[in-house]
Amino acid sequence: MEKIIFCLSLGLFFAITAFGQTSSEKVQKMVELFVSAYNAKDYAQIEQQFNAQMRAAITTDKLKEFFDNLHADSGKIIKLGSPNFSAPTAANFPAAFERGKWVLLIALDAEGKFAGFRVTPPLSDKPKNTSRNQTKLSLPFKGEWFVVWGGDTPEQNQHRDAPNQRFAFDIVKTGASGKTHKGDGAKNEDFYAFGQEIIAPADGTIVYLVDGVHDNKPGEMNRMYVPGNLVIIKHAENEYSLFAHFKQNSIRVKVGDKITRGQTIGLCGNSGNSSEPHLHFQMQNTAFFEDEASMKTFFEKITVKRDGKNETKTNYSPVKGDVVSQD
């Protein structure tokens, strides 16, 4: 299991190769081709302009899955704003979609082929990281779950080197043997977490979700759409909860829904940059995936088991190795 890495983006991200000194007009021409082909769902036209590294990085099926999900969530691109060049052949374009605003990065190599692109949320004007959540939270699941990653040190939490996930948790379910799966774990249904209900930790409003990403085969990961299926809930001003890796087509809410603590929002899955079914959960001060957005998360009152002993904890932030459940 790996941490998810948003890299300032929700969506596709590829490393950009060394740029040649082609003109800004070439970038403009290629972004126009990109928009036209995307809107027409002629994804092959975009793929034909990939350089060798891009072709090696993504399959035709994965490209189609990404663009189909983007269409389903946001619709067509209706307008591009003025580009902001970060290099002679790389530029960010504000992009107005039918159902939302994004930023489209286009990067070309020395031959004028696509060396990378990504679709990201626009920068938010929300304040940077606050110290902790003020919303009173319960656990976002039922029963006992095991904290794989959580805490303040690199040894406790491998999210620590990603500022927008610095205080995130990865949480799984285990059986009596302590394993996360029965049998050989060859299929998602072998894992105790797979299909378990994920619930709202507090009242709030659904502000973003993705539901169409395929679940991975255990041991494989989808680095193209790293959070997989996800839900973001606004609980208060500058306080949002984010849940990643839901089971495909399992989300039971829609954007704009008012929800209550304990309400089921979807089922645990294995979508995105996830090697086995688990929940990635974090609190953050914005609906966007920005540096320093993640905030340290405390739960109001939970039971923590260590070394076979149960203890009730109040105002507690779980750490690696905790078995946690709701009182």
3 pLDDT more than 60: no
Asked which of 15-19, 97-101, 124-128 is least confident by mean pLDDT, the reply is 15-19
What pLDDT does residue 292 have?
65
Q: Domains (ranges, CATH) in the chain?
A: 24-120 (3.10.450.590), 145-326 (2.70.70.10)
Q: In the structure, what pLDDT confidence band is assigned to residue 290 with cuts at 50, 70 and 90?
A: low
Average pLDDT rounded to a whole number, residues 148-175: 90
Q: Are 273 and 2 in contact (CB under 8 A)?
A: yes
What pLDDT does residue 70 have?
87
Average pLDDT rounded to a whole number, residues 187-212: 95
Give the angle 21-24-29 at the CA atoms, nearest 5°.
120
pLDDT tens sequence across 295-319: 999 999 999 998 889 999 999 999 9
What pLDDT does residue 131 have?
77
pLDDT tens sequence across 142-152: 999 999 999 98
12 pLDDT more than 70: no
The chain-wide mean pLDDT, for the chain, equals: 86
CA–CA distance, 33 with 39 (Å, rounded to integer): 10
What pLDDT does residue 9 have?
35
pLDDT tens sequence across 17-74: 334 344 578 889 999 999 999 999 999 999 999 988 888 878 898 889 889 988 887 8
Average pLDDT rounded to a whole number, residues 198-219: 93
Q: In the structure, what pLDDT confidence band is assigned to residue 123 with cuts at 50, 70 and 90?
A: low
Query: What DSSP designation does 123 have?
Result: P
263 pLDDT more than 70: yes
- Rg of the chain (C-alpha set): 20
Which residues does 292 contact at the CB level (< 8 Å), separation at least 6? Answer: 128, 129, 163, 164, 166
